Amino acid sequence: MDLSKKFGLDYRLLHAITNGHSWYGNWGYEFGTGCYGLTKEAYKKAVDTLSNLPLSSFSFQGRGPRNRVHTVISLYQSLAETELLTIKDLFSFLLKLVNRKPSQHEFTSPINILVSWTRNEVEEVQQALIKVLLASSACNKAKWATRRTLKGAVSMRVRSSELVDYSLKHLPGKLAANGMVVCSRCNPTSSAVEFRLGPFTNGFTSNSSYPSKEQVISDLTFLFNTIIHPEKKFSYRPKIMRKTIADSARTLLDCKQFMKNYEADHVITETPTDIKLWCHVELSDHPKEDQPSPPPELIVLPIDATVDDLKNEVTSAFQEVYAMYKRFQAEELLGYGKISNLYTLKFLFGANTSVRILGKCPTKHGLSRFRKERGTEEWKVDCTCGAKDDDGEKMLACDTCGVWQHTRCAGIGSSAPSKFECRRCVSSYMKTKKYPISSSSETCKLKTSCRDEATAVACNINVNFGVR
């Protein structure tokens, strides 16, 4: 059951967007059972939908005022070494920044990583940017210039927007003609990278464009709640897109149960010489139709283990795992006849195989009462979401037909009503109920004008109404 949180966020949703699976998937746990009738295909589709959301849908398009979403996305796009195109790219980069140490934000010389432009082209643009900073500091030495301002100041002279972005990214630490050096910072209030010229001193660190860890977490929380979380308000997106995102996020949140399949071929023990046996059990003191069929248990024994050791381990394993086997006792190896308990297992099975073991499990009332964790009651689940069994979510039974369904699917809030009838019963009731119209006193009369209409409502009282 994955109910994990990170930074106060639902981590099964965040991790699925950035990695394609739950955090437990790192250890082999996969989709097990989805609540509200969800399937593995629906889970996968929701992951793909959210991971591949283009950031262009949320970026500033040059129309209307900028909001915080536009500013925060623009900030991290300017800091990333690679282009951020999707929500997955953005959230992955934010998580990477959270886990980075401050020393890892050090400035990297563009000379070593130039790809599309020559060093002279980059330096020419950077000198133009420094001239803008010199002009700004001439008026006010303490004034910071935003990245957007600098980019706008040189955009008329430089045709390539990508070249300007690259030059700005590697501008901190550059020396100006007057001996000053370019400083940078990330303004926590406006989420904007800002530049100015400052004196060069010993121990000077020029690259402070990266936001603090606390600000990155704050921005991650803001973007997650604003863009992804289904219970938040989306006031800036098209209605169709808003519904798609909310439905996909809700699907991932409704998938909490993950399972790991331990296949015999993939189980590796620490000691290669150990004997690994998959043990199936059968009961001799219960009819076959009443016998449970639990999956086999893997028993690992030393190379010199005997038949008696195997029986003791099987007895202990099934007693610990299953409540119905609290009195189980392994007695015989099926298919091997009467063999001594002192016989060494390696001469019977080898190092890796499956065996059937016959045993007894004395009980007063049989094993049927242990068969289902939820109890032995015969109750039916048939919800509008498609669920046919209890999935752990809150349910309510119809007072008429007794069928259970999710309170969320029925539109019921946190407090359950004193009486509840499902939609099927209400619909059936409305269709089958007939009202006699045998006399004028029981007739429901209707009068309408050309502009108004009235509808007679099925009732058990005399009604006379109209519109004048």
Per-residue pLDDT of 406-446, as tens digits, reads 888 888 877 778 888 888 888 877 877 654 444 444 433 33
4 within 8 A of 23, measured Cβ to Cβ: yes
Q: Is 54 exposed, middle or buried (0-12, 13-18, 19+ CB in 10 A)?
A: exposed
Instruction: Tell me what pLDDT residue 268 has.
Output: 53
Give the whole-number percent of the chain exceeding pLDDT 90: 6
- Cα(265)–Cα(354) distance, integer angstroms: 12
| Cα-only R_g, the chain | 35
- Cα(348)–Cα(275) distance, integer angstroms: 11
Structural domain tally of the chain? 3
Residues 33 and 182 grouped into a single domain: no
When pLDDT is cut at 50, 70 and 90, the band that residue 255 belongs to is confident
Where are the alpha helices (H) located in 323-418, listed in sequence order? Answer: none
Residues 229 and 89 grouped into a single domain: yes
Residues 158 and 244 grouped into a single domain: no
Q: Nearest 5°: phi and psi at 17? A: -70, -40
Residues 95 and 48 grouped into a single domain: yes
**Residue 188: inside a domain:** yes
Residues 294 and 337 grouped into a single domain: yes
- What lies within 8 Å, CB to CB, of 253 at 6+ separation is 10, 12, 13, 230
**Residue 382: inside a domain:** no
Residues 7 and 44 grouped into a single domain: yes
Residues 193 and 227 grouped into a single domain: no
When pLDDT is cut at 50, 70 and 90, the band that residue 454 belongs to is very low
**Residue 141: inside a domain:** yes
**Residue 179: inside a domain:** yes
Residues 278 and 330 grouped into a single domain: yes
**Residue 458: inside a domain:** no
Which whole number is the average pLDDT over 334-349? 83
**Residue 183: inside a domain:** yes
**Residue 383: inside a domain:** no
**Residue 420: inside a domain:** no
Residues 56 and 192 grouped into a single domain: no
Residues 92 and 136 grouped into a single domain: no
Which whole number is the average pLDDT over 214-240? 78
390 within 8 A of 378, measured Cβ to Cβ: no
- Cα(80)–Cα(166) distance, integer angstroms: 10
Specify the range with the lowest mean pLDDT, choosing from 27-36, 58-67, 424-433: 58-67
CATH number for the domain that contains residue 278: 3.10.20.90
Residues 4 and 23 grouped into a single domain: yes
Is the pLDDT score of 458 beyond 50?
no
211 within 8 A of 78, measured Cβ to Cβ: no
User: How many C-beta atoms lie closer than 10 Å to residue 377's C-beta?
Assistant: 6
Q: What letter represents residue 133's amino acid?
A: L
Residues 139 and 202 grouped into a single domain: yes
148 within 8 A of 156, measured Cβ to Cβ: no
DSSP string, 75-103: HHHHH-SS---BHHHHHHHHHHHHHS-GG
Is the pLDDT score of 193 beyond 70?
yes
Is the pLDDT score of 455 beyond 80?
no
End-to-end CA distance of the chain: 64
CATH number for the domain that contains residue 167: 1.10.10
When pLDDT is cut at 50, 70 and 90, the band that residue 369 belongs to is low
When pLDDT is cut at 50, 70 and 90, the band that residue 61 belongs to is low
User: Mean pLDDT across the chain, nearest whole number?
Assistant: 76
Give the angle subtended at the CA of 16 by the CAs of 10 and 18, to the nearest 5°.
105
Joined together, the tokens standing for residue 267 give 């189980």
Give the whole-number percent of the chain exceeding pLDDT 70: 75
Do the bridges between strand 181-187 and strand 192-198 make them parallel or antiparallel, or are there none, so unpaired?
antiparallel
Is the pLDDT score of 394 beyond 80?
yes
- Cα(134)–Cα(143) distance, integer angstroms: 11
What residue numbers bound the domain in which 236 lies? Answer: 1-104+213-261
